[in-house]
Structure 1
Amino acid sequence: MEHKLLRQDISALLIAGPTASGKSALALEMARDLGGEIVNADSMQVYGVLDRLTARPDAQDLTEIPHHLYGHVSPGTAYSTGIWLDQATQAIAAIRARGALPVVVGGTGLYFRALTGGLSEMPAIPDPIRTELRARLETEGVEALHAELARLDPLMGERLRPADRQRILRALEVVRSTGRSITEFQGRGGARIVDPDSAHCIVLEPERPLLHARINARFAAMVEQGALDEVKKLISLDIPPQHPAMKAIGVSQISDYLAGLHSLDRAVELASTATRQYAKRQMTWFRNQLGENWQRLHL
């Protein structure tokens, strides 16, 4: 990208894109050239242990340019968009105080939405309720949770489709914790941390054949670079299967290989397919949710 396209007075540089799109490499290049520090906006790269499997920057990159919010969360710890936003806000303020440019990069669209549009002030969910409902989601299925939501919060029960797992879970957590509908909290918008009008916002949209080739090559490389050992360590922590870290792409496929359910080649094939499907969902979200402030690059 031509750096001269950037205004000299930007408040931050935001780089979004699907997995394997090259956004981390672009962020590193631009942070190096523009005097920036990098802030992670990927919900899986916050977790420790899964260095290779989540494609976190390597040790050399981390040494060359300051990186923030990478691998700092234990895989067994609950983490949310609200927690990320609080930590990203602190990191961005500290970067600006040092006279550097915040470069926020990642593939989690909700993080960018929270950063540029504010986040509704949601109540804290007690761990017992969170754990119970996530376990029931796996054992009873989303239909049972949707039925309970319809009973406790008829408005949200009618609004949400029975297949909308995460939103049903979130709405049920809130009404179970507070006795009030999540709609009461959604109207309380939080502060906007980065004004998209004063930032330079980029979303990468690689051509599909190129992206698929990158995904296939990258997962095979992850296996060669230690992904199997990462999954073994994750399994040893005895984390509940419904926890987000356990849903990182590659964990279930490699776990099945380690259990003798299929070959390593089959695990790589299944994980690569899941990654391509995830990248497609990311691109659809970015296309529909990121507005005219975002410059779209086809790398």
Structure 2
Amino acid sequence: MYEVQSVSSGIITASPVVAIMGPTASGKTGLAIELAKKCNGEVISVDSALVYKGMDIGTAKPTQEEQAGVKHHLIDIIDPAESYSVSQFVNDTNALIGEILAKGKLPILAGGTMMYFNALINGISPLPKSDEVVRNEIAEQAKRDGWAVLHNELCSVDAVSGERIHPNDPQRIMRALEVYRSTGRTLTEWQQQEGKKCPYTISQFAIAPEDRAVLHQRIAKRFDIMLSQGFKQEVEKLYERNDLHEDLPSIRSVGYRQMWQHLDGKLDADEMRERGIIATRQLAKRQLTWLRGWEQVSWLDTFANDNLTKITAKVTL
């Protein structure tokens, strides 16, 4: 059983909760499932792409066989036409951790969306509520002038957000401009405020091959496996819908954007494969950059035989 203790401040803390982070194709899923089986745990996905229904192959979603006997959370919870915010993730995950601990089980956070981990562990900054009037004004301006003009405006008033937010990300461009226009303060200023941190103690681990070249090989191999498993056919089903497009967060996911462009006739099959692998490598590089600046993280080698032993040594049974 895992104990839940109350502290004088009234905040409930729990020990243990385990986080398994790392770049794509590093072995997080397999390790999390092994740990769950060994320690009577349940897995909470920390992956912004696994939330989408019908996006299985390209996201390397755990198969039904892999999930057998291990409860997984935050997988297949929304349609690709919908969006799932960081604040929704934090709220859902904190609630799930409490529920799993109440059952006497080990909560295991596993994934590579570092923005989710950061918000959960370090706190999410309080942001103003949505202003529909301002949002409608921005939407009308976008129809008239285009999102490129609005992105340029964002860069002029909030250079940090402008650099971080892609010019083809209308949802986040709109939110950043909405915050500025409705409050007179930039999104960056709001995000610099300290938010409420996770009320649970989390033992944090990062897994990756020691050799970056090996990770690149694993990424290329996995992409080819996805193609052989029917990744193109999976995206074709999404492409044939009339409510999805390339600028949605779901379709911007690594691999899906490149396959979508292939189906659009913008890339041939070889270009799609090459760009998909390159985009995945770039994602892995960003994930590793996050993790190198991470505090209180213990590193694991993808190919080590004692990873479970190292994790369970820090788990209070």
Structure 1 unaligned spans of 5+: 1-8
Q: Which residue of 2 aligns with 1:278?
A: 283
- Three-state SS of the structure 1 residue aligned to 2:60 is coil
Moved more, 198-207 or 184-193: 184-193
Q: Which residue of 2 aligns with 1:172?
A: 177
Which of 66, 69, 73 lines up with 1:64 in the alignment?
69
**Higher-helix-fraction structure:** 1
Task: Give the Cα–Cα distance (whole angstroms) in 1 for the partners of residues 41 and 140 of structure 2.
Answer: 41
Tell me the number of residue pairs that the alignment of Structure 1 and Structure 2 aligns: 279
Task: Give the Cα–Cα distance (whole angstroms) in 2 for the partners of residues 261 and 244 of structure 1.
Answer: 20
Structure 1 residue 53, shift from structure 2 partner: 0.6
Moved more, 177-186 or 238-247: 177-186
1:104 aligns with 2:109: yes
CA contact (8 A) 1:135 1:242 kept: no
- Relative to structure 1, the CA distance from residue 125 to residue 102 in structure 2 (aligned partners, 3 Å threshold; closer, same or farther) is same
Q: Which residue of 2 aligns with 1:266?
A: 271
CA offsets, 1:187-245, max 9 Å, x none? 654432254xx432101132211111111111111112121122112222332422110
Q: What TM-score, normalized to structure 1?
A: 0.82
Moved more, 114-123 or 167-176: 167-176
CA contact (8 A) 2:161 2:188 kept: no
Structure 1 residue 115, shift from structure 2 partner: 1.5
1:205 aligns with 2:208: yes
CA offsets, 1:224-275, max 9 Å, x none? 2121122112222332422110101122322233344444333222211111
Q: Which residue of 1 aligns with 2:234?
A: 230
CA contact (8 A) 1:129 1:177 kept: no
- Relative to structure 1, the CA distance from residue 133 to residue 79 in structure 2 (aligned partners, 3 Å threshold; closer, same or farther) is farther
CA contact (8 A) 2:52 2:77 kept: yes
Structure 1 residue identity aligned to 2:160: L
Task: Give the Cα–Cα distance (whole angstroms) in 1 for the partners of residues 182 and 80 of structure 2.
Answer: 24
Q: What TM-score, normalized to structure 2?
A: 0.78
Matches within 5 A, 1:1-299: 10-125=15-130, 129=135, 132=139, 139-141=146-148, 144-147=150-153, 150=156, 154=157, 157=158, 160=160, 162-165=162-165, 170-178=175-183, 180-182=185-187, 185-186=190-191, 189-195=194-200, 198-206=201-209, 207-237=211-241, 238-288=243-293, 290-291=294-295, 293-299=296-302
- Three-state SS of the structure 2 residue aligned to 1:278 is helix
- Three-state SS of the structure 2 residue aligned to 1:245 is coil
Task: Give the Cα–Cα distance (whole angstroms) in 2 for the partners of residues 134 and 46 of structure 1.
Answer: 31
- Three-state SS of the structure 1 residue aligned to 2:250 is helix
- Three-state SS of the structure 2 residue aligned to 1:271 is helix
CA contact (8 A) 1:53 1:222 kept: yes
Structure 2 residue identity aligned to 1:248: S
Task: Give the Cα–Cα distance (whole angstroms) in 1 for the partners of residues 297 and 221 of structure 2.
Answer: 29
- Relative to structure 1, the CA distance from residue 247 to residue 209 in structure 2 (aligned partners, 3 Å threshold; closer, same or farther) is same
- Relative to structure 1, the CA distance from residue 208 to residue 139 in structure 2 (aligned partners, 3 Å threshold; closer, same or farther) is farther
Structure 1 residue identity aligned to 2:54: V
CA contact (8 A) 1:133 1:169 kept: no
Structure 2 unaligned spans of 5+: 1-13, 167-171, 303-317
Task: Give the Cα–Cα distance (whole angstroms) in 1 for the partners of residues 181 and 88 of structure 2.
Answer: 21
Structure 1 residue 162, shift from structure 2 partner: 4.8
- Relative to structure 1, the CA distance from residue 126 to residue 254 in structure 2 (aligned partners, 3 Å threshold; closer, same or farther) is farther
CA contact (8 A) 1:146 1:168 kept: no
CA offsets, 1:64-117, max 9 Å, x none? 200000121111112110011111111111111111010001101111112111
